[in-house]
Amino acid sequence: MKKNVLIALIAAMAAPLAAHAEGAYIGGNVGRAEQKVDLSGFSLKEHDTAYKVYGGFNYTPNFGAEIGAAYLGEAEKTGNGARISSKAQSLYVAATATLPLGEQFALTGKAGAAFNHVKVRGSAPGYSASGSDNQTSPYVSVGASFLLNKNVSFVAEYEYFGKIAKDGDANIKANLVSAGVRYAF
């Protein structure tokens, strides 16, 4: 009797791990990116629609690796005939961790590096300038997933891409809140 109870307990504890299985996956998310510009005591935030595509591999039900590309939208401010804008994108690589909370739900976390590229344009009456910057930053993400079936999951994430551009004491930081679908093979 005790042996049957022990086997039942082990099986019940292992079931959530089996639901979030090992193997390759691809996905896509859509959401809202925020770019925060800091210039010598002046700060502004802008939001825009963003999206990303990614793929990864779960080596165990709890740990894996992921690579992705994100378009972080365009931040733009205008006033008094002047205009400044920045378009950002990122390529990231990260280690992933999954904490199953049952057969269908899981919490996720990622840590890695983001390779960011930003194009900046500025104009005022009689003046125009543009440039770009590449910046490598720490990348972190927290999220949750809902397993619809053995192949399809819905995901929601908050991702921080760090400083995506830096020039002296001026910098631009970016984050993304998104939801999407992931397909496991």
Q: What is the mean pLDDT of residues 5-27?
A: 58
- With a CB cutoff of 8 Å and minimum separation 6, the contacts of 80 are none
Q: Does 15 score more than 50 pLDDT? A: no
Domain tally for the chain? 1
Determine the Cα–Cα distance for residues 167 and 131; give it in Å rounded to an integer. Answer: 11
Confidence of residue 33 (pLDDT cuts 50, 70, 90): very high
**126-132 mean pLDDT:** 85
Long-range interactions of 3-12: CB distance < 8 A, separation 24+: none
Question: 155 CB contacts (<8 Å, ≥6 apart)?
Answer: 27, 29, 108, 143, 144, 145, 146, 179, 180, 181, 182
Tell which wins on pLDDT, 82 or 104: 104
Contact 28, 176 (CB under 8 A): no
Look at strands 82-100 and 42-58 and give their pairing.
unpaired
Question: What is the overall mean pLDDT for the chain?
Answer: 86
Q: Which residues contact 144 (CB under 8 A, 6 or more apart)?
A: 105, 106, 107, 108, 155, 156
Residue range(s) defining the domain that contains residue 130? 2-184
**Other beta carbons less than 10 A from residue 137's beta carbon:** 20
165 token code pair = 């551009």
User: Terminus-to-terminus CA distance in the chain, angstroms?
Assistant: 39
pLDDT tens for residues 39-98?
776 777 888 999 999 999 999 989 999 999 999 988 887 778 888 888 999 999 999 999
Residue 18 sits in a domain of what CATH number?
A: 2.40.160.20
Q: How many whole angstroms separate alpha carbon 99 and alpha carbon 109? A: 9
Is 41 exposed, middle or buried (CB count within 10 Å of its CB: 0-12, 13-18, 19+)? exposed
